[in-house]
Structure 1
Amino acid sequence: MDYKVTVATGTSEYSGTNNYIYVTLVGENGESEKTLLDNPGLDFCRGAVDQYTVKSSAPLGRLLLVKLEKQRYWVEDNWFCRYVVVEPPGAGGVLTFPCYRWLVGNVKLEIREGAAKRGSEDSLPQELNHRKAELQERQNTYRWQAWAPGIPKCIDAKTEADLPQDMRFDNEKRSDFESSLHYALIELSLKKLVIRFGKSWNDLDDFKRIFWKLRSPIAEYTMEHWKEDWFFAFQFLNGSNPRMIHQVQKLPPGFRVTGDMVQIFLKPNTTLEKEMQDGNVYLVDHAIIESLPTNVIKNQRQHIAAPFCLLYEHPDQGLIPIAIQLEQKPRRHTPVFLPSDPPLAWLLAKMWVRHAEFQVFQVLSHLLRTHLVVEVFCVATMRQLPAVHPVYKLLTPHLRYTLEINCRARTQLIAKDGIFKRVVSSGGDGLLVLAQREYKVLTYRSLQPKLDFQDRGVSKLKKYFYRDNTLMIWDAIQRYVTGIVSLYYPSDSEVLEDTELQAWIKDVTEEGFANVPKLGMPHELTTKTDLITLLTVVIFTTTAQHAATNNGQFDWCAWVPNTPCTMRCPPPTDKDAIDMQLIMDTLPDISQSCVEMAITWHLGRAQPDAIPMGQYVEDYFTEPEAKDLIAEFQKDLRDIDESIQEQNKGVELPYLYLCPSRIENSITV
C-alpha cells in the first residue's frame, strides 16, 4: 500500500535541516514502514513542501498518528515542521496533521490528525496513550515557579534561554528585538553625549533636544498640547491607562476639596453635590501607590505621590480636571491644587498625577494585568491540554512568544538591576510591593470590560474611544468563541465532563492564581457560558487589552514632562513657592529622560513580524466548520477596523490603537 506524504518545513530563518528525517504512519490496524525521507541536505529547506511515498505491507485503516524522527547527520541541525499531509491509497481523502513544532536533537515526535477532539471522543488505545504521554512530557517541561510571593506564578525558567524551543522567538524576531534596543540605546548615548557638552535642563523646551529621530505624530502633538487641561483629561480616557477613571457620587474621606473651591469651573447655576448626583463628576484615585518604597538612583532618593484627581464633564468644554490633591492622608499644610492656581503650580500638580500614571500603567495595567495574567493561562494550557484539544487549538495562536517576552521582562526590565531600577521611581523594592498590592484586589470581573465599565460608571462618558472600540472587539471575540465552543461542546454536560478542561481551569486558579485572594474566577467550568466568558477574557487580554496599554506608550511618554518616569524632589506643599527651577529639579534628569524615551519607543513600536489580530497563519483547526467561524471572525474584525478608521478620518488626535489591523494576535513585546 502506497501512501502519499507531504511534509512542510517552516518559513522562518533556520527552520530547515540537513539531518535525517524519518516518518512512520500509525493507523488503527498497524504501522507503516519507518521511511527515510530522501537525502539529508537536499530536502527540508526553509519553506519547502516536499512529497514522498511511504509504503505499508497492509492497509492501516483509519490513520491516527504520524511519527516523525530526526537524527543527526554530521552536525546537529534543528528542524521546524509545519504540518504533514497524508493521502491514503484509494478514495480515502486527504488528512492533515498539524505540527508547528521544533524537533531539537535526536528526537521522536508523534502528531495527531487535525480534527479537534475532547478526551471522551477518543476510544482507541493509541489515541488515549498519545494524549496521556503528551501531557506527561509537557508537565515535565512546563513547570510552575513562584517568582515572588503574593503574585501569580510563572514558568520555571531563569532566562529565556531556559525555555523550550517552541516558546522562543524566531531568529528574525530575536534579531529585530535586540537590534532595535541596541539602536535606541545608541541614539540615547549620542543624545547624552551632545547634551553633556552643552547645557543641562534649564527649562521645559530643553526636552526637545532629545526628540531627534525617535518621534511619532502623536508624540509631537503631545509636546505641543500637554499643558492643556482637556488634553490632560483625554489621556485618562484614551491614553495608555484608560481603566482608572470612575464616576463618583461622593468624595473620598481624605480628599479635602469642597464645592466652593471648584464652583467656578462648573456650569452656571449648579453645585458640585448636584453634579455628582447627576453623574457628571469623575475621579482618578492612585491610592494603590500610597507610601510605596521609593527607588534610589545615583545615590539620590526618588519620590512618589498618590494623588486624587477630580474631573468634571462640562457641557461645553468636555472632560476637564478641576482639583488635584497629592496626598491620600492630608496633613495640615497639604494643598488642593486648582486650575485657578498660579500656572506653574497647577502644571506641576498635573505632572505629579501623570507620574503616578506612569507607575500604574507600566507595572499594573500593562505588565501585571496583561503579560503576567496571560502567562498563567499559557503555562496551564501547555501543561493540561493536548494539541488535539479544541481549546488548545483556539488559544495557542494567542500565546505565541508570551513566555519569552515575560522572561525578558523579569531579567531585563524589572530585575533588581534592570531598567526600572535605573530610571523609575518605583523601581527596586517598590515595584514588587506595588505588584503585591494589585494582586490583593485583582478580580476576574475587572478583566471583563462590560462589567468593568458598568462598575466604574463610565458607560455614558463622552469621547471614551477606548470603551467604544473595546466593546466592539469584545463582542466580535465572544461571537467567535461562542461558535467554536458550540461546535465542540453541544451542551453544558460536555463542558463539565471534560476532565482535561477541568484540570486546566484547576491549574489556572489553584496553581497560577493561588496568591490572588479576591480573583473570583471559577475553579470548575460547569456551563458553556462559563467557558465562553473565560476564553473571551483570555483572547481579549492577549490582543486588545495589551494593545491599549502597550502600543501608545511612546506617544504619551516620549515628551517626558507629560509622563515622567521618576520625580527627584518631593511633592510641593506651597503653591506660591513653585517656580521653573523647582520643576526642572523635580523632573527626570538627562539620562533618565533619554532612557524613558528609548525604552518606550523600543516596546511601543510596531513589530515587523507582527501577526494581526485574528490572522491565523498556522492552521490548527482543519475542520471546515471551524474554518468558516474563523472567516466570520476575520470579517467582523475587518468591519470594526473600517469603522474605527472612518471615525478617525480628519480627526486631529486620532485613537487607532484598537484597530484590529494594529493589534497583535498575542503578547510579543
Structure 2
Amino acid sequence: MANYTIEVFMGDALNAGNANTVFINLIGTKDSSEPQILGHSAEMLCCSKTLTVSCKESLRPFFLVQLELKALELEDHWFCSKVIVTDPEGRQRLFPCYQWLSPKKKTILREATAKLSHKDTEEMAVGHRLEDVAKKCEDFIWSVYDSEIPHIVQVDSASGLPYEVRFSFTKEKEFQHSQLNTSLDLKLNNFHPTNTWNSMEELEDVQWNTPWTHEYIKKHWMTDTFFGYQFLNGSNPMMIKRCSKLPNNFPVTNDMVKSALPKESSLEKEMEKGNIFLCDYARLDGIVGNVIDGIQQYLAAPLCLLFSNPQGKLLPIAIQLKQKPEAQNPIFLPTDSKHDWLLAKLFVRNAEFNEHELNFHLLRTHLLAEVFTMATLRALPSVHPLFKLLFPHIRYTLQINIMARKQLTSAEGIFSTSCAIGLKGMITLMRRATASLTYSSLCLPDNIKERGLENIPHYYYRDDGLKLWNIIHKFVNGVVAHYYTDRHVQEDSELQTWLTEIVEHGFLKNDNSGIPKSFHTVAELVKFVTMLIFTVSAQHAAVNNGQYPFGYYPEELFVEAVPLQKMEQFRQDLKALEGEIEARNKNLELPYDYLNPKNVANSVDL
C-alpha cells in the first residue's frame, strides 16, 4: 500500500465555507484512491484540513487531485486555495486551485510545475491539458458587440461568469462600500441628477472625496500653463505629438503666433528645433452630438498647436475648432479676448474627454485587456508558464468590463444619457479608433519615438513609463527565457493559437496594425508579453489610476526557483522606482504620481 498525506487549504476568502460536503481523491495513471470525505466546507473556513489516503501502488510519476462538492440542501460554492500532497517518499507537491468550486462539476488540479506542451509526455498529462482548454473554451465564448470594435465575452451579467474570474468577496465589498459612501455624500449635499449649476462655487457644494490636487486645479484650471501641462501629465498623455510641418487644414501663420514665441524666432524655426507640438482630434470630425433633455449637444474636432518655451513650459498658441479651414472656422489665439480663448480651450478639453475615455481608456486598456483575458483563458492550459505569468494580470477584468458596459456604454448608460457624444457617436469614434490601433502605439518606447517626444521636458508619463516598461521587460524576459528557446516558441501551438485569438478578436485581422501574426523568437514573445502587462497595469493606471499593488502575486502558481526569484527581483525593482519617483515629486509643484508602482494595479479591475 502507498499512503499519501493530503492537506487542503481554504485560504482567507470570506464567505468561502458552506454546508456542502467536500470529497477528495488522487487519480494516477495506473491506480487511484477512493474518494474521501474531507468534511463540510464550513468547518474549514480560513484554515486547512489534513487526511491520509491509500492506494494499492505508487501513483508515480504523474497524478491529479480531484475535488468534488456534493450539495446537501442548497447549492452553495466553496473556495479552495491549494492542496499539498506528500507522497510515500516524503516529497511534497503543490496543487494550486485558487478558485470557487461548484457542486455542479468536479475540479481537477495539476501539480504546480509549469510545463510547455513538449514537456508533457504522460498520456494522462496530455489529456488533462487538452480537457482544460476545451472546458475553458466552453465557459468563455466570444461575442460581437460591434463588428468593427474588439470582441467581448458572451455574458450579459457578472453572475453569468464562472466563479473563478468573478470578484473576490473583499473586492465586491470594496465596490459596495465606495458606492454607499458616494450615495451618502450626494444625499447629504442635496444632489439630484436633474440639478443645474450657475457657478463653480455651486458645483463645489456637491463634490465629494476631492483629491489632494483639487485646490491646485481650482486655482489654475483657466491658465495656459496648466492647460498645456495636462497634455503631458494629465489623465491622457497620449494625444500630443511633435509637429515638424503644419497640416494643410491648419493654416497658422507666423504673424498669428509671433507674440507667443521668443524674439527673433519664428514658427518655422521653432518647428525645426522640435519645440512645436500638435493635438489633432480628427477622429471626432463629422460626429453629430447627442440630444439630452431635448437640447441638442455639439462636438468639436479641434486642432491645437502648442509651444514648449525656453522655460520648459508647454503653452497653447493656436486652436481651430473644426477640421476644415473656412471663414466660419477661425483660428483662436491667446491674444483674443479672455473668454473667447477660454471657450476655445474648453472645446479642446471636451474633445480630449471623448478621446481619453473612449479611445485611450476604454478601447486601449479595458477592451484590449478583455481580449487578452479571453485569449489566455481559452488558449492556454493552466499548467502553461504563460498562463501562470499572466493570470494575476487578467484578474477581475471580465467582471469590471461587464459592469462598465451596463453602466456606461449601454443604451441606458452614462454616455447615452449624459454625454454630448451620445451612444451613436460613441460607436463611431470607437470604430475609427479601432481602425487606427497599431502594435507600435501600445509599445511605449516605440510610441514615444513615433510621436517625437523623446526630448520634450517635464514629460513625467514618459520618464516613469519607460522605467516601468524596462522593469517589466526585464522580469518577463527572465521568466520566459527560462522556459523557451526560439525553436520552442515556433513549435508551441498553444502559444500561436493564443496570439491568433488576440489578432482575430482584438485587432480584427487588420493588416495595417503591425500586430505580429506569429512568434518566431523569444525576443518577439518577450516584447509582446511586456506590452500586454504594461497595457493592463501601468497604461491603465496612467489613464485611470488603479487599486491593487503592482507586482503582487498572492497565488502560488509557480514552484520553480527561477520564476520565483524573478518575481522577487521584480518587486525589488518596483520598490526602487517607487522611491525614485517620490524623491522627484518632492521638488514638483504638482507631483506626478500616476505611475508610482504603489498606485499601479496588476490588472484592469476598476
TM-score normalized with structure 2 length: 0.97
CA contact (8 A) 2:437 2:507 kept: no
The answer as to 2:547 corresponding to 1:549 is no
Equivalent residue, structure 2, for 1:656: 593
| Aligned-partner residue type, residue 429 of structure 1 | K
| Aligned-partner residue type, residue 35 of structure 1 | Q
CA contact (8 A) 2:312 2:458 kept: no
Give, in whole Å, the separation in 1 of the partners of 2:583 and 2:337. Answer: 41
| Aligned-partner residue type, residue 68 of structure 1 | L
SS at 2:422's partner residue? coil
Equivalent residue, structure 2, for 1:158: 156
Equivalent residue, structure 2, for 1:618: 555
CA contact (8 A) 1:71 1:107 kept: no
SS at 2:213's partner residue? helix
The answer as to 2:147 corresponding to 1:210 is no
Equivalent residue, structure 2, for 1:641: 578
By relative contact order (CA 8 Å, sep 6+), the higher-ranking structure is: 1
SS at 1:7's partner residue? strand
**Paired residue for 1:497, among 491, 494, 503?**
491
Give, in whole Å, the separation in 2 of the partners of 1:193 and 1:402. Answer: 31
Give the deviation of 1:75 after TM superposition: 2.3
Equivalent residue, structure 1, for 2:344: 349
CA contact (8 A) 1:150 1:516 kept: no
Equivalent residue, structure 2, for 1:65: 64
CA deviations 1:82-101 (Å, max 9, x no partner) are 1100111224x211011112
Give, in whole Å, the separation in 2 of the partners of 1:257 and 1:360. Answer: 24
| Aligned-partner residue type, residue 203 of structure 2 | F
Give, in whole Å, the separation in 2 of the partners of 1:492 and 1:349. Answer: 54
**Paired residue for 1:379, among 374, 380, 392?**
374
Give, in whole Å, the separation in 1 of the partners of 2:133 and 2:503. Answer: 19
The answer as to 2:323 corresponding to 1:324 is no
Equivalent residue, structure 1, for 2:524: 530
Equivalent residue, structure 1, for 2:144: 146
SS at 1:613's partner residue? coil
Give, in whole Å, the separation in 2 of the partners of 1:381 and 1:345. Answer: 51
The answer as to 2:23 corresponding to 1:22 is yes
**Paired residue for 1:95, among 93, 96, 100?**
93
The answer as to 2:242 corresponding to 1:243 is no
Equivalent residue, structure 2, for 1:554: none
Which aligned pairs between 1:356-367 and structure 2 lie closer than 5 A?
Answer: 356-367=351-362
Give, in whole Å, the separation in 1 of the partners of 2:480 and 2:406. Answer: 37
SS at 2:40's partner residue? coil
Give the deviation of 1:517 after TM superposition: 5.0
Give, in whole Å, the separation in 2 of the partners of 1:521 and 1:234. Answer: 32
CA deviations 1:389-424 (Å, max 9, x no partner) are 000001011000000011111111110110112221
| Aligned-partner residue type, residue 593 of structure 2 | L
Equivalent residue, structure 2, for 1:513: 507
The answer as to 2:586 corresponding to 1:668 is no
| Aligned-partner residue type, residue 412 of structure 2 | D
Equivalent residue, structure 1, for 2:73: 74
The answer as to 2:423 corresponding to 1:428 is yes
Give, in whole Å, the separation in 1 of the partners of 2:190 and 2:428. Answer: 32
CA contact (8 A) 2:31 2:56 kept: no
Give, in whole Å, the separation in 2 of the partners of 1:455 and 1:207. Answer: 40
Give the deviation of 1:189 after TM superposition: 5.0
**Paired residue for 1:234, among 224, 229, 244?**
229
The answer as to 2:197 corresponding to 1:201 is yes
Equivalent residue, structure 2, for 1:454: 449
The 10-residue stretch of structure 1 (24-33 or 615-624) with the greater mean CA deviation from structure 2: 24-33
| Aligned-partner residue type, residue 256 of structure 1 | P
Equivalent residue, structure 2, for 1:392: 387
SS at 1:82's partner residue? strand
Residue 2 to residue 195, structure 1, CA distance change in 2 (3 Å): closer
Give, in whole Å, the separation in 2 of the partners of 1:176 and 1:625. Answer: 35
Equivalent residue, structure 2, for 1:111: 109
Give, in whole Å, the separation in 2 of the partners of 1:194 and 1:384. Answer: 47
Give, in whole Å, the separation in 2 of the partners of 1:316 and 1:506. Answer: 48
SS at 1:30's partner residue? coil
Gaps of at least 5 residues in structure 2 are: none
CA contact (8 A) 1:142 1:383 kept: yes
SS at 1:534's partner residue? helix
SS at 1:107's partner residue? coil
Give the deviation of 1:384 after TM superposition: 0.8
CA deviations 1:196-251 (Å, max 9, x no partner) are 99xx633444333333x321111221111111111110000001110111001111
CA contact (8 A) 2:19 2:40 kept: yes
CA deviations 1:557-581 (Å, max 9, x no partner) are xxxxxxxxxxxxxxxxxxxxxxxxx
CA contact (8 A) 2:540 2:604 kept: yes
CA deviations 1:255-314 (Å, max 9, x no partner) are 121111101111121110011011110011111111113111101111110111111011
Residue 226 to residue 20, structure 1, CA distance change in 2 (3 Å): same
Residue 192 to residue 291, structure 1, CA distance change in 2 (3 Å): farther
| Aligned-partner residue type, residue 87 of structure 2 | P
| Aligned-partner residue type, residue 524 of structure 2 | D
SS at 2:19's partner residue? coil
Gaps of at least 5 residues in structure 1 are: 552-605
The answer as to 2:220 corresponding to 1:225 is yes
| Aligned-partner residue type, residue 86 of structure 1 | V
SS at 2:56's partner residue? coil
Residue 330 to residue 187, structure 1, CA distance change in 2 (3 Å): farther
| Aligned-partner residue type, residue 531 of structure 1 | L
| Aligned-partner residue type, residue 551 of structure 2 | G
Equivalent residue, structure 2, for 1:44: 44
CA contact (8 A) 1:9 1:15 kept: yes
Residue 41 to residue 143, structure 1, CA distance change in 2 (3 Å): closer
CA contact (8 A) 2:17 2:42 kept: no
Fraction of identical pairs, as percent: 39
Give, in whole Å, the separation in 2 of the partners of 1:421 and 1:507. Answer: 31
CA contact (8 A) 2:31 2:55 kept: no
Give the deviation of 1:185 after TM superposition: 4.1
SS at 1:379's partner residue? helix
Which aligned pairs between 1:262-341 and structure 2 lie closer than 5 A?
Answer: 262-316=257-311, 318-341=313-336
Give the deviation of 1:149 after TM superposition: 1.9
Equivalent residue, structure 2, for 1:586: none
Tell me the number of residue pairs that the alignment of Structure 1 and Structure 2 aligns.
605
Residue 190 to residue 290, structure 1, CA distance change in 2 (3 Å): farther
CA deviations 1:14-41 (Å, max 9, x no partner) are 112331111111334422222111x325
Give, in whole Å, the separation in 2 of the partners of 1:251 and 1:60. Answer: 73
| Aligned-partner residue type, residue 591 of structure 2 | P
The answer as to 2:9 corresponding to 1:8 is yes
CA contact (8 A) 1:144 1:512 kept: no
